[in-house]
Amino acid sequence: MWAVTVIYNIPKDAAAFEKYYAAVHIPLVQARQKEVGFVRADLAVFPRALDDSAPAFYRQAHLWFDSEQALQTGIATPGFAAIGADLANFATGGFVALIARGG
């Protein structure tokens, strides 16, 4: 499987991030799932680092695709562009977007 992975940096306001993420961004991603073609989304928040220190990153999201071709097709859609454009509305700490291969 292949994934688009977004790793979010620490936001300027975590409460505002979470409110927007839950109320706007996640519903947008869900509404575009069929168009984009991902088969599963895995979301995580990092409460602390392994040594109990403050984490270097805030959240992570993986959108999983059945193949590299499905991923390439999906990221070329208007739906994926809309999802990406929405990041500027809440990811105030910045983010890194990567392509991942499972396995």
CATH code, domain with 89? 3.30.70.100
Q: What is the pLDDT of residue 99?
A: 97
Q: What pTM was computed for the model? A: 0.93
Best CA proximity match to 101, nearest among 57, 61, 64 = 64
Both structure tokens of 70 = 């499905």
- How many distinct structural domains can be found in the chain? 1
What does the pLDDT look like over 30-42, one tens digit per residue?
A: 999 999 999 999 9
What does the pLDDT look like over 43-92, one tens digit per residue?
A: 999 999 999 999 999 999 999 999 999 999 999 999 999 999 999 999 99
- Non-local CB neighbours of 63 within 8 Å, separated by 6+ positions: 3, 4, 29, 36, 38, 40, 41, 74
Q: Which domain holds residue 19?
A: 2-101
